[in-house]
Amino acid sequence: MNGITIALSKGRIFEETLPLLAAAGIVPDENPDTSRKLIIQTSRPDVRVVVVRASDVPTYVQHGAADLGVAGRDVLIEHGGAGLYQPLDLNIARCRMMVAVPEGFDYAHAVRQGARLKVATKYLRIAREHFAAKGVHVDLIKLYGSMELAPLAGLADAIVDLVSTGSTLKANRLVAVEHVLDISSRLIVNQAALKLKRESLAPILDAFTAAVRP
């Protein structure tokens, strides 16, 4: 493919990437939140957007099915980053990775006692490294969504999940007890494309760099 393909997920990443794309003179013809199209043309005939699941963005870029993509630090850590160049923190879709437990659960006590904690999460690698670094023994339970339910239903003692406003935790009577990581989204580039398409990619990278807000 001669043009440039950009992999984005719909929702917050698409929305928050729009101003950066605009800075590079790229305006998508449609919004994936209202359109069912998975390939979206743009104001530039040489640039198209493919709409994929957030956790699939690194895979498309790694294999060169997309030249560029935007993915959360959470997604990139879980993916591992093979084949990806990560030149730029876009400082968008910001949130925090947290450990949360039901209101009233004495987390500090459980950890002090050396109890084996059951932790449900979508983010196995991040959770494993976090608890290993603290020397806390955990049994990790992999989930694909709705982590908040796990402690309420008796599946786990704690969860590791993303928090932005905190309203999801609050609505489910959970409290954040530990900060794991600050999260934002990054521009990712296929390593081969960066060499082979340098002339067309460089101006986009420069425009993104200039448009990133601190």
Residue 11 binds ligand PRT (CB under 6 A): yes
* Gap between the Cα atoms of 98 and 139, Å rounded: 17
- Provide, rounded to whole angstroms, the least separation between the CB of residue 210 and ligand PRT: 23
Task: Please provide the distance, in angstroms rounded to a whole number, between the alpha carbons at the two ends of the chain.
Answer: 34
Within residues 101-160, the interface with ligand PRT by CB under 6 A covers none
- Provide, rounded to whole angstroms, the least separation between the CB of residue 142 and ligand PRT: 14
Return the SS3 of 48: strand
* Gap between the Cα atoms of 169 and 146, Å rounded: 11
Within residues 29-88, the interface with ligand PRT by CB under 6 A covers 53-55, 72, 74-75
- Provide, rounded to whole angstroms, the least separation between the CB of residue 113 and ligand PRT: 29
Residue 12 binds ligand PRT (CB under 6 A): yes
**Residue whose CB is less far from ligand PRT, 51 or 193:** 51
Sheet holding 174-183, edge to edge: 138-142, 117-121, 158-163, 95-102, 174-183
**Residue whose CB is less far from ligand PRT, 76 or 111:** 76
**Residue whose CB is less far from ligand PRT, 67 or 161:** 161
- Provide, rounded to whole angstroms, the least separation between the CB of residue 186 and ligand PRT: 9
* Gap between the Cα atoms of 130 and 124, Å rounded: 10
Sort 189 into a burial class: Cβ within 10 Å, 0-12 / 13-18 / 19+.
Answer: buried
- Provide, rounded to whole angstroms, the least separation between the CB of residue 73 and ligand PRT: 6
**Residue whose CB is less far from ligand PRT, 42 or 185:** 185
- Nearest residue to 3 (alpha-carbon basis) of 36, 44, 39, 58: 44
Residue 204 binds ligand PRT (CB under 6 A): no
* Gap between the Cα atoms of 30 and 37, Å rounded: 8
Tokens of 82: 């093979």
- Provide, rounded to whole angstroms, the least separation between the CB of residue 92 and ligand PRT: 9
Phi and psi torsions of 85, nearest 5°: -105, 135
**Residue whose CB is less far from ligand PRT, 24 or 90:** 90
Return the SS3 of 177: strand
**Residue whose CB is less far from ligand PRT, 9 or 190:** 9
| Interface residue list for ligand PRT (CB under 6 A) | 9, 11-13, 53-55, 72, 74-75, 93, 95, 161-168, 183, 185
